[in-house]
Amino acid sequence: MFVDNVEIKVRAGNGGNGLASFRREKFLPFGGPDGGDGGKGGDIYLVADADMQDLAAYKHRLIFKAGNGEKGGTNKKHGINGVDLLIKVPVGTAAYVKKDGEEQLVADLQGKGKKLQVAKGGRGGKGNVHYATATRKAPEIFQPGEEGEQFDITLRMKLITDVCIMGYPNSGKSTLLSAVSAARPQIADYPFTTKYPVLGVVDDGVQKYIWAELPAIVKGSGQGKGFGNSFLVHAERAAVLVYLLDAVSPGIVEEFARLKEEIKAFDLQLAEKSSIIAINKTDLIEDAVELAAVKEKLEETGLPVYEISAALNTGVSELISAVHKLVSEHKKRSIVEMGPEMVFRPKPVDLRD
């Protein structure tokens, strides 16, 4: 079961109390205060782990606690700090905390190995050794440890992929992904075989990019029908979309328009991504003239159109080159868009005249 979204509770460790104690030595019955400080409570971190595929591990595990700090010891001994807790999450996971009824992003773990604190452990309390003054030689007081931070956190994972194959059920998405990569999604001639996103690495001989097959778009879901297209969030980070159409289905041009509407209804920005249309199953079409007319009509949308047969692997390498070219253009563009940071340095003012 693929889980891309879970709610967890995190409880950072409490700080240990400071200690109130007094030195006891032979011949020195009323020694001064020697109570040490409490240990700090453990912090909680999220760590992006490249080996994790999804958040299924946290579906039934709700509460995550870091260790509490121990209380201070005699002889000024510092209490042991609570153990930190690292929660591994898949790369591409974002964490949200609800504040005033609204979700706020608190951590976005895009890079492998990235580590971000989500709850801070409480500080340890001071022992009475800190409270001795000239007039108060034997303080019975100590500082209590501070409570650790506690949050309810929603983890949402969005796939990191360069390319997403989008299409209606049975258009051949799984067949295409198996033709272009080593991924082996289930292929069947009944709809909704693929219920979870599947990733494959596609190597064009020069570059490797990640392609994903998303579950089929549900017809009419944009109008609130069906069970929704929530998995489309996984296309948000993709550079390029491949719209896969079934050459056999009647009204391919209208079908494409509907597909686009469906995606727009979910997220306008998604529909504006660089895209390519691929007409699949062309091996089943005997009328070449009709196919050419459909292609021409689709080209009026301004998108490049490729004719392929994923099953026979024809036209597929041309499609891969075109898609990868778009991905690399996108990557170059986004480097420029991020740009170097602007630093404003005011010139030193000459005060001499």
Instruction: Tell me how far apart the terminal alpha carbons of the chain are, to the nearest angstrom.
Output: 75
Instruction: Count Cβ neighbours within 10 Å for each residue of 1-14 and write b for 16 or more, e otherwise.
Output: eeebbbebebbbbb
| Region from 144-152, 167-175, 269-277, 322-330 binding ligand GDP, contact rule CB under 6 A | 167-175
Position closest to Mg ion via CB? 194
Contact of residue 175 among Mg ion, ligand GDP, none (CB under 5-8 Å per partner type): ligand GDP
Binders in 307-326 for ligand GDP, by CB under 6 A = 309-311
Nearest to 153 by CA among 117, 203, 185: 117
For the CB of residue 183, give the shortest distance to ligand GDP in the complex, in Å: 12
| Region from 15-23, 37-45, 109-117, 185-193 binding ligand GDP, contact rule CB under 6 A | 185-193
Binders in 201-220 for ligand GDP, by CB under 6 A = 216
Q: Is the four-CA dihedral 280, 284, 287, 290 of positive or negative sign?
A: negative
Work out whether 193 is an interface residue with ligand GDP (CB under 6 A).
yes
The tokens describing 132, both together, are 């001795």
Q: CA angle 152-157-158, nearest 5°?
A: 145
Instruction: Count Cβ neighbours within 10 Å for each residue of 84-93 and write b for 16 or more, e otherwise.
Output: bbebebbbbb
Q: What is the per-residue binding string for ligand GDP in 110-149, x denoting contact by CB under 6 A?
A: ----------------------------------------
Q: Where do the H-state alpha helices sit in 36-189? A: 173-180
For the CB of residue 249, give the shortest distance to ligand GDP in the complex, in Å: 11
- Binds ligand GDP by CB under 6 A, chosen from 194, 198, 256, 305: 194
- Binds ligand GDP by CB under 6 A, chosen from 14, 229, 275, 280: 280
Cα 118 from Cα 99, distance rounded (Å): 14
Count of alpha carbons within 13 Å of 203, Cβ hemisphere only?
A: 3
Q: CA angle 7-13-15, nearest 5°?
A: 155
- Binds Mg ion by CB under 5 A, chosen from 14, 81, 170, 174: 174
| Region from 98-106, 195-203, 305-313, 329-337 binding ligand GDP, contact rule CB under 6 A | 305-313
Work out whether 188 is an interface residue with ligand GDP (CB under 6 A).
yes
Work out whether 175 is an interface residue with Mg ion (CB under 5 A).
no
6 by DSSP, 3-state: which?
strand
What are the residues binding Mg ion (CB under 5 A)? 173-174, 193-194
Binding site for ligand GDP (CB under 6 A): 167, 169-175, 187-189, 193-194, 216, 280-281, 283-284, 309-311
